[in-house]
Amino acid sequence: MNEFRYTSYAQEIIFGHGSLARLSEAVERFHWWRLMLCSTGTLRRDGTIAKIEEVLEKRLVAVYDHVQPHVPDFQVVEATSIAYENEVDAVIGLGGGSPIGMAKAVSLSLEEKRSGRSARAAFPTDQPLVPVVAIPTTYAGSEMTSTYGVTGQENGSARKITITDVKVTPKLTIYDPVLTLNLSPTMTASTGINALAHCIEALYSITRNPLSTAAAISGVRAITSALPRCYADGSDLEARSEMLMGAYLAGTALSSVTMALHHGLC
């Protein structure tokens, strides 16, 4: 048998139709009292953010609802300042890879702002001062990883840097298929194919292991079954559920191995 190394992080996953309703109970159990939400204008307009506001009520003390794609560095500075001013103790990323990435960036930046020193983890067991909560509405898989990207300007050109730190792995993830019903056919296809690519790449990664392989194979089965149905009928809740499960499995595989060229580009 081949040797392998596998690192597991403490995460709570809540999956199922209407599971967003359990967010308040989970937040109370974690003793988070002042939360900030990072999301997009699209999710504000379609009423998804309003659902979070209704569930959390007074615990939601700040909302940054105009996250741009690829997490611009100036927005990280803006959002971190808002979080600092509101004494936030947990950050929610609602949406796809960019809002969840923003929540991760704010978590680490806010800890550094409060402590006055680097917040980077020294050990795999290090815990965040400001935990991340992920509520995905696409199939990007960021909710299962310890990685995010930030885009800045260098010599007049955009430059994206990638940060990996165990502290930004979401402590809580809510998978509610109902929240994916508004996902357009284009976004369904693009993020769904990306999830499938994560599974495939995990299967040939040089650091693959039995757990990542099992997750990737199950993810391929779920995605290839559900994605065509989601694309044909976005209101098919059972297909959306199976697709979200596939995305979860893809994210699990993605977080367990070293990825290659495709993930670096996409």
8-181 placed in CATH 3.10.20.90: no
Domain spanning 183-266, CATH class: mainly alpha
Q: How many angstroms separate the CA atoms of 61 and 239, rounded?
A: 35
pLDDT confidence bin for 153, thresholds 50/70/90: confident
Quote the tokens at residue 35. 């939360």
CA atoms within 13 A on the CB side of 10: 8
pLDDT confidence bin for 265, thresholds 50/70/90: low
**Given this model, what pLDDT does residue 6 score?**
66
Helix axes 237-256, 210-232, angle to 10 degrees: 150
Show me where the domains of the chain are located.
Answer: 8-181, 183-266
pLDDT exceeding 90 applies to what percent of the chain? 77
Mean residue pLDDT of the chain comes to 92
The pLDDT tens digits of the residues spanning 193-204 come to: 999 999 999 999
The pLDDT tens digits of the residues spanning 24-41 come to: 999 999 999 999 999 999
Quote the tokens at residue 167. 């502290």
The pLDDT tens digits of the residues spanning 205-227 come to: 988 999 999 999 999 999 999 99
**Given this model, what pLDDT does residue 172 score?**
97
- DSSP calls for 130-172: S-EEEEESSS--GGG-SEEEEEEEETTEEEEEEEE-GGGS-SE
pLDDT confidence bin for 119, thresholds 50/70/90: confident
The pLDDT tens digits of the residues spanning 69-107 come to: 999 999 999 999 999 999 999 999 999 999 999 999 999
